[in-house]
Amino acid sequence: MLGFACICKSLNDNGCFKTTTIKYLSKLDKSSQIKKLRSIAVDNLYNTSKILEWCAENGIFLYRMSSDLIPLATYYEDWHWWEDADILKQCDNIKTASQNKGIRISMHPDQFCVLNSEKSNVVENSIKILQYHNRLSCLTGNKLLVLHVGSSAGGKKTAMERFSANFKMLDTDIKTKLALENDDKVFTALDVLGLCETLGIPMVLDLHHYRCRNEGEDLSALRARIIKTWQKKKPKLHLSSGRAYDTDRSHADYITPEDYKMATDFAGNDFDIMLECKEKDLALLRLVK
């Protein structure tokens, strides 16, 4: 099964998302700030449900929701967006669409979520980010939050120990949704797999990150162990191509045939494949064609 992330370019305005800034909102009174925020949130959630409808119509049953559907959710802590009737209605529409149409949804907290940071304020904010994602996930029916290990300060071993320690501070509901992904700078597929096995959570294999950062490990030898971390759920892997060359960390607009063959040879029928291309759904449609 193939999927794509966030923006749906085929839908034009209904396939993208809006945001705002603290600087802009500071020019408004508090009531107008909240009005602006909830307007953006409702539009973003509505567009997400439209994307899910488009996915079903086009035979796509794997989709990653944007992490920015509720703008500045962790900043405006006195804004109880999860109690807003219009927001709840749109969240329920997403949940109904994904369940009725059989679309697997997920979310990927952004780079500001660094659970293993050495800085206590960063860890505290990262937990708030995860709490936001978890609250939205509960309302929309999402059951998967994909995260990177994060900081490498103090060396990989110490950094992974910090992640394990901070992981224990999370609510059980968040723990059951988390999966870890190998990155393209520090933490290899083997590093992350070992950590996932220790914590009892799934591992998402990113093939492009593996190509950019590995220590010679043979992926085929890790395949069965990766599948096992998912228990009875279907595993997922990420696929993108380097923009200028194979190990270019920047993502290309589309997937090369060579990279797609690499992914399908590894995945077989056991993995779903999430495309991480700049051209989003257009890259998926071209690949299928």
pLDDT tens, residue order, the chain (289 aa) = 999 999 999 999 889 999 999 999 999 999 999 999 999 999 999 999 999 999 999 999 999 999 999 999 999 989 999 999 999 999 999 999 999 999 999 999 999 999 999 999 999 999 999 999 999 999 999 999 999 999 999 999 999 999 999 999 999 999 999 999 999 999 999 999 999 999 999 999 999 999 999 999 999 999 999 999 999 899 999 999 999 988 888 999 999 999 999 999 999 999 999 999 999 999 999 999 9
Residue 269 domain-assigned? Answer: no
Residue 89 domain-assigned? Answer: yes
Q: Count up the domains in the chain and report the number.
A: 1
What DSSP string runs through the chain?
Answer: -EEEES--GGGGGGGS-----HHHHTTS-HHHHHHHHHHHHHHHHHHHHHHHHHHHHTT--EEEPPTTSSTTTTT-TT--GGG-HHHHHHHHHHHHHHHHHT-EEEB---TT--TT-SSHHHHHHHHHHHHHHHHHHHHHT---EEEE----TT-HHHHHHHHHHHHTTS-HHHHTTEEEE--SSS--HHHHHHHHHHHT--EEEEHHHHHHS-SS--HHHHHHHHHHHTTTSPPEEEE--BSSSTT-SSBPSS--HHHHHHHHHHHTTT-EEEE--TTHHHHHHHHH-
Residue 226 domain-assigned? Answer: no
Residue 130 domain-assigned? Answer: no
Q: Could you tell me the pTM of the whole model?
A: 0.96
Residue 60 domain-assigned? Answer: yes
Residue 179 domain-assigned? Answer: no
Q: List the domain range (segments joined by +) for residue 77.
A: 8-106
Residue 66 domain-assigned? Answer: yes
Residue 58 domain-assigned? Answer: yes
